[in-house]
Amino acid sequence: MRTVTLSAPDDIDAWRSAARALIADHVAPERVVWQVGDAPADLFAETPAAATAPAPASTFRVPRAFLSLADDAALHRDPQRFALLYTLLWRLRDAPRLTDDHADPLVRRLEELAKAVRRDIHKMRAFLRFRSVEEADGATRYVAWFEPDHHIVRANAAFFVNRFASMRWSILTPEVSLHWDGAALAQGPGAARADAPEGDPVEEVWKTYYASIFNPARVKVGAMLKEMPRKYWKNMPETALVPQLLATAQARESGMIATAQDRVDTDRVAAGGNVAAAWTALRDEAAGCTRCPLHRPATQTVFGEGPLDAPLMFVGEQPGDQEDVAGRPFVGPAGQVFDRAIADAGIDRAAAYVTNAVKHFKFEPRGRRRIHAKPDAGEIDACRWWIEQERLLLRPRMTVALGATAARSLFGRAMTIGRERGRVQTLPDGGAAWVTVHPSYLLRLPDPAAKEAEYAKFVEDLKGAQAAMG
Ligand code: URA
């Protein structure tokens, strides 16, 4: 039996080198015990074992997909994670594409661990709140308390260093603490909630922000609680606003659009970065979205992308297989048709905002393949909140619905594309919209002549949408 003792629960580097050495030594998974202790990594502490398998190790190249899966899954709190990962690594020697087999129970389990970790990473980014304290030299330090579900704190450090590079800050968690002095990152032991301060003026920033993105027409307390689990609410100053916002929601609803739009305009001018901050927080929240069951099998939320002052917003149906993996909209086959068509229409994709009505990939597994499945009305409605928020923040001059799902989401009702395409429509919030086909419709047409003709019509629609912006 081999015992591998890792020095810390998130010590992926030590896990990797131990795993590499074990594979080279042909040590089967059932002969390895993985443990995490305070002691420094102590590989092969017990009796070295004899080789148990044939020796492909020298030619064995670890697939890239495994490395990124391992990087995430290894941070899960499941004590089995290192053993599971090593078992998968062992099986990859004979089946190098095993990570593509999403029906394999081990692959699936590890993907679930990885996904839970990614969600926890996003929750930390979205829900962590700093309070300010004065240091001995009179400078301000921002201190936050956070309780992650998994061992993600060190893995998330670079994000906070980049985001808050010029501040002095500390993030206290039960397992570890991080301290940034504006130049270097230091680590300390875990802390208790009482070590972090409560309440201070920095909260006003969050309150202002939260009030500005709060949509009284969409108040669903259950969904809000699900998005921001109670565990985080106590650390989030803006949640103190919720009862008041709920109480006045009815009154605010009628004047909501004008008010919210005025506020966004004011923010654009006065704060410059506030729309960007609101959009970033929205995207981070969407990353942890569990409003409908589609989040479970999907790899990740695929949020919109593009300039926040884009005059044109394109709304597709949902991410496809490739978008689900890449985390970006319209990068697969339908994306290629879309790119070609907008270029032929004289539109620069980089100047447009591109998003989807449904932010998770819906599919049916068929062997190793994941076959696109159409989102149903419930899933479209569950996701509508995000697209509404995107529109509220960006206020595009024209929103183009690509296909029936996008139209259903934007207009809140089923629409016949053939009947409605090619002219300006008015959205329920008063914004201008244009309806056309989805690029994948063109991909599905079997007859080349029909394909060509429909493509030309699609390009004409896109030109029309741009011209109608004025
Ligand atoms: N189809 C869509 O509707 N959106 C994408 O992002 C990709 C394919």
Q: For residues 33 and 22, give the distance between their C-alpha atoms in angstroms, rounded to a whole number.
A: 11
State whether residue 448 is helix, strand or coil: helix
pLDDT in tens, 123-160: 888 778 777 777 888 887 888 889 999 999 999 998 88
Q: Which pLDDT belongs to residue 242? A: 52
Tokens of 278: 């609101």
Residue 104 has pLDDT above 50, yes or no: yes
- Cα of 338 from ligand 1 centre, angstroms: 9
Look up tokens 């998005």; give the residue. Answer: 227
State the average pLDDT over residues 92-118. Answer: 94
98 lines ligand 1 (CB under 6 A): no
Residue 314 pLDDT level (bands cut at 50, 70, 90):
very high
Question: Does the CB atom of residue 318 touch ligand 1 within 6 A?
Answer: yes
Q: How confident is the model at residue 470 (pLDDT cuts 50, 70, 90)?
A: confident
Q: Give the Å distance between the CA of 375 and the centre of ligand 1.
A: 12
The ranges assigned to domains in the chain are 2-118, 128-195, 202-275, 288-468
- Please name every residue paired with 142 in a beta bridge, in sequence order, or none if there are none: 132, 169
By the 8 A CB rule, do 19 and 62 touch? Answer: no
Does the CB atom of residue 356 touch ligand 1 within 6 A? yes
With a 6 A CB cut-off, is 329 part of the ligand 1 pocket?
Answer: yes
Distance 16 CA to ligand 1 centre (A): 36
Residue 402 CB burial class (10 angstroms; 0-12, 13-18, ≥19): buried
User: Which residue pairs from 119-122 have beta carbons closer than 8 angstroms and sit at least 24 positions apart in sequence?
Assistant: 119/287, 119/288, 120/148, 120/149, 120/150, 120/152, 121/152, 121/155, 121/156, 122/284, 122/287, 122/288
- Percent above pLDDT 70 for the chain: 79
**Phi, psi (deg, nearest 5) at residue 196:** -100, 145
| Ligand 1 nearest atom to the CA of residue 354, by list position | 6
**267 burial type by CB count under 10 A (0-12 exposed, 13-18 middle, 19+ buried):** buried
For residue 16, what are the contacts with CB-CB under 8 A and spacing of at least 6?
A: 70
CA torsion angle for 101, 104, 110, 115 (degrees, to 10)?
60
pLDDT bracket for residue 212 (50, 70, 90)? very low
CB of 323 within 6 A of ligand 1: the answer is yes
Residue from 438, 443, 444 to probe ligand 1 pocket by mutation (most atoms less than 8 Å from CB)? 438
What are 228's two structure tokens? 């921001």
Angstrom distance (rounded) from CA 118 to CA 422: 41
What's the 160 CA to ligand 1 centre distance in angstroms?
31
CA 165 / ligand 1 centre spacing (Å): 35
Contact assessment for residue 329 and residue 316, using Cβ atoms and an 8 Å cutoff: yes
Q: Is the CB of 375 under 6 A from ligand 1?
A: no
The pLDDT score that the predictor gives to residue 297 is 86
Interval 252-281 mean pLDDT: 49
8 A C-beta contact, residue 314 and residue 305: no
Establish whether residue 317 lines the binding site of ligand 1, counting it when its CB lies within 6 angstroms of any ligand atom: yes
* Closest atom of ligand 1 relative to the 302 alpha carbon: 6
Q: How confident is the model at residue 49 (pLDDT cuts 50, 70, 90)?
A: very low
Which residue do the tokens 């739009």 mark?
A: 261
Mutate to test the pocket of ligand 1, among 318, 359, 370, 400 (most ligand atoms within 8 A of CB): 318
> What tokens appear for 200 in the block?
């201070």
Does residue 237 line the site of ligand 1, with CB under 6 A?
Answer: no
Q: Are 113 and 81 in contact (CB under 8 A)?
A: yes
* Contact 86 CB / ligand 1 (< 6 Å): no
What number of other Cβ atoms are within 10 A of residue 376's Cβ? 14
pLDDT tops 60 at residue 245: no
**304 pocket-lining for ligand 1 (C-beta < 6 Å):** no
Position of tokens 């914004």?
431
Note if the pTM is more than 0.85: no
CA of residue 329 to ligand 1 center, whole Å: 6
The pLDDT score that the predictor gives to residue 435 is: 98
Lowest-confidence segment of 252-266, 372-386, 411-425, 438-452 by average pLDDT: 252-266
Q: How far apart are CA 260 and CA 266, in angstroms?
A: 10
> Phi/psi of residue 360, each to 5°?
-120, 150
Atom index in ligand 1 nearest the CA of residue 317 equals 3
Beta partners for residue 354, in sequence order: 305, 314
d(CA 111, CA 102): 8
> How many A from CA of 312 to the centre of ligand 1?
17
Pocket test for ligand 1, best of 440, 443, 444 (most atoms within 8 A of CB): 440
Atom of ligand 1 nearest to the CA of 403: 3
pLDDT at residue 116 greater than cutoff 80: yes
65: left (phi over 0), alpha (psi -120 to 50) or beta: alpha
Question: Which pair of structure tokens corresponds to residue 19?
Answer: 């795993």
pLDDT at residue 391 greater than cutoff 80: yes
Buried b or exposed e, range 425-434, using 16+ CB within 10 angstroms: beeebebbbb
Which of 142, 266, 281 shows the shortest CA–CA distance to 202?
Answer: 142
Please give the number of the atom of ligand 1 that sits closest to the Cα of 329: 6
**Tens-place pLDDT, residues 19-44:** 999 999 999 999 999 998 854 333 33
Distances (CA, A) of 247 to 96, 142, 185: 57, 32, 43
pLDDT at 14: 94
**Confidence at 12, pLDDT banded by 50, 70, 90:** very high
- pLDDT class for 431, splitting at 50, 70, 90? very high
> pLDDT tens digit string along 319-368?
999 898 888 999 999 999 999 999 999 999 999 999 999 999 999 988 77
- Dump the DSSP string for 429-462: TS-EEEEE--HHHHHH---HHHHHHHHHHHHHHH
Pairing of strands 312-316, 353-356: parallel
Candidates 111, 122, 59, 117; CA nearest to 88 is 111
Tell me, in angstroms, the distance from the centre of ligand 1 to residue 306's CA.
15
* Alpha carbon distance 261, 369 (integer Å): 43
What is the amino acid identity at position 322?
Q
Q: Which atom of ligand 1 is nearest to the CA of 438?
A: 3
Return the best residue to mutate from 299, 300, 322, 323 for the ligand 1 pocket (most ligand atoms within 8 A of CB): 323
Mean pLDDT, the chain, integer? 82
d(CA 306, CA 316): 14
Give the CA dihedral 192, 133, 284, 270, nearest 10 degrees: 170
For the ranges 110-114, 248-252, 454-458, the lowest mean pLDDT is seen at 248-252
Confidence band for 56, pLDDT divided at 50, 70 and 90 = very low
Confidence of residue 443 (pLDDT cuts 50, 70, 90): very high
> Alpha-carbon distance 149 to 170, whole Å?
19
CATH tag for 288-468 (out of 1.10.1370.30, 3.40.50.12280, 3.40.470.10, 3.40.30.10): 3.40.470.10
Residue 424, pLDDT above cutoff 80: yes
Res 397: pLDDT:
96
* Residue 405 Cα: closest atom of ligand 1: 3
> Is the minimum distance from the CB of 319 to ligand 1 under 6 angstroms?
yes
